[in-house]
Amino acid sequence: MDFELNADQKAIQKLARDFAQGELRPHARKWDESGEFPKEIVPKLAELGFMGLTLPEKYGGAALDMVSAVLVIEEVARECGSTALTLAAHNGLCQKHIFHFGTEEQRMKYLPDLAAGKKMGAWGLTEPGSGSDASGLQTKAVKQGDHYVLNGSKAFITHGSVGDTFLLLASTSPEKKQKGITAFVVERGTLGLKPGKPEDKLGCRASDTAQIAIENMKVPLDQVVGGIDEGFIDTLKILDKGRIIIGSMALGLGMAALQASVRYAKEREAFGKPIAEFQAIQWKIANMATELEGARLLLYRAAYLQDQGKRTSLESAQAKLYASEAAIRACNEAIQIHGGYGYIKEYPVERYWRDAKLCEIGEGTSEVQRMVIARHTISGSA
Ligand SMILES: Cc1cc2nc3c(=O)[nH]c(=O)nc-3n(C[C@H](O)[C@H](O)[C@H](O)COP(=O)(O)OP(=O)(O)OC[C@H]3O[C@@H](n4cnc5c(N)ncnc54)[C@H](O)[C@@H]3O)c2cc1C
């Protein structure tokens, strides 16, 4: 067992840290306030390979391992949760679905533009009436000759309004429920694909989230991704990967809260000394540091197992659950350590809390993660 990062992993971590501190830190508050997707950051992310993190070079990707992807997302999230979520949806969901389950023709058609940041990827599973119970989706795809016709709607889709390449899940055999769902890839401008307005959100405000209406959208057969009726099984495999990325985002936000707390506790004085000298504050910091380290180890383990080609449904759920809840606890304590200043926007800790809250909801709520963990544990496969 080796707990050391290798030289390549350390180098990518430094690259991501330098980039995030230089290019994200100065803008994160402004982006949060405006709530607008900062398009200008995309070419810079692409230049570093962050728009195609784990994709092979053949498709224009940076060909990083999952452990390195975890490192990049953590560093980005330390400075800007919105940008971390942008990378999570683009890399971890849309791109991965096309890469793992698409044909070689589809990979060559869609992935290079996504990796180059010329196109933004979106992945649509959730609907207005189905989130945790994703297999209850109501969007229908009916075969008519050489194409499918899709009708329905999607909700809370990251890049739903700014996206260019959409991977959408629809029911092809409603009577087979979760065994009757199929994935389709469509591009912006397809007749019947109607992106909605961006949602006004609590956190991750500069990442784009929108509903999508789908009305009589004709999709040729060669835009089916994976097998007919196999989309939901593929989706679960994608979420095993995506949850590691969301957990890394939580880790980055938790670490930012910890660092801000340490800095502030050393500067702020009460009763004639820095508050860092009070045991009550020290214990909060000790708990934050320990829980985040635990989250890091769970994330690295899940990412490492993914790099070994293993299924990680249990490990990914554990890592995401623990990292997101540890991050929320850390952000909560960070606000408390900052006292009244923690409650105002001049200090970033309230933003960290708002951004981290998404990690307990997106790609499966904490309740859903506990369902997955309990199922594995009780069935004895743990
Ligand atoms: C900012 C943002 C970005 C997102 N991006 C995407 C995206 O790109 N693509 C996409 O497809 N989706 C996306 N989502 C959707 C997200 O994955 C869902 O919101 C999430 O899965 C929860 O679904 P829901 O909102 O329908 O809540 P519900 O499923 O209605 O859940 C409501 C509550 O009930 C609980 N609950 C439900 N079932 C059970 C149960 N069996 N046992 C115990 N508790 C239960 C839930 O945990 C939750 O607390 C995004 C969401 C947000 C907020």
Give the model confidence (pLDDT) of 64-103 as tens digits. Answer: 999 999 999 999 999 999 999 999 999 999 999 999 999 9
Angle at 296 between CA 287 and CA 98, to 5 degrees: 145
Domains of the chain: 7-115 (1.10.540.10), 121-229 (2.40.110.10), 232-378 (1.20.140.10)
Mutate to test the pocket of ligand 1, among 37, 132, 154 (most ligand atoms within 8 A of CB): 132
Residue 62 has pLDDT above 70, yes or no: yes
Contacts made by residues 44-47, CB under 8 angstroms, sequence distance 24+:
44/19, 45/83, 45/87, 45/117, 46/115, 46/116, 46/117, 46/118
- Which atom of ligand 1 is the closest one to the Cα of 130? 26
State pLDDT tens for residues 34-50: 999 999 999 999 999 99
Query: Predicted confidence band at 380 (pLDDT cuts at 50, 70, 90)?
Result: confident
Cα(353)–Cα(340) distance, integer angstroms: 15
DSSP 125: -
Active site residues: 363
Give the number of other CB atoms < 10 A from CB of residue 340: 8
Q: What is the pLDDT of residue 381?
A: 57
What separation in Å is there between the alpha carbon of 151 and the centre of ligand 1?
A: 21
What separation in Å is there between the alpha carbon of 166 and the centre of ligand 1?
A: 19
| C-alpha dihedral, 270 to 273 to 275 to 276, nearest 10° | 180
Q: Which protein residues are within 6 Å of ligand 1, measured from CB?
A: 89, 123-126, 131-132, 156-158, 201, 204, 209, 358, 361-365, 367-368
Longest dimension (CA), the chain: 80
Once rounded to an integer, what is the mean pLDDT over residues 231-256? 98
State pLDDT tens for residues 134-189: 999 999 999 999 999 999 999 999 999 999 999 999 999 999 999 999 999 999 99
Q: What is the pLDDT of residue 382?
A: 54
Q: What is the pLDDT of residue 1?
A: 82
Mean pLDDT of the chain: 97
What separation in Å is there between the alpha carbon of 246 and the centre of ligand 1?
A: 14
What separation in Å is there between the alpha carbon of 369 and the centre of ligand 1?
A: 11
Per the listing, tokens 């890592």 go with 319
State pLDDT tens for residues 212-233: 999 999 999 999 999 999 999 9
Can you read off the two tokens belonging to residue 372? 């997955």
Residue 53 has pLDDT above 60, yes or no: yes
Alpha helices in the chain (DSSP H): 7-19, 28-34, 42-47, 66-79, 81-87, 96-101, 104-115, 231-267, 279-307, 313-337, 349-357, 366-378
Nearest to 158 by CA among 194, 203, 83, 210: 210
Residue 127 has pLDDT above 60, yes or no: yes
Once rounded to an integer, what is the mean pLDDT over residues 23-35? 98
State pLDDT tens for residues 351-379: 999 999 999 999 999 999 999 999 999 99
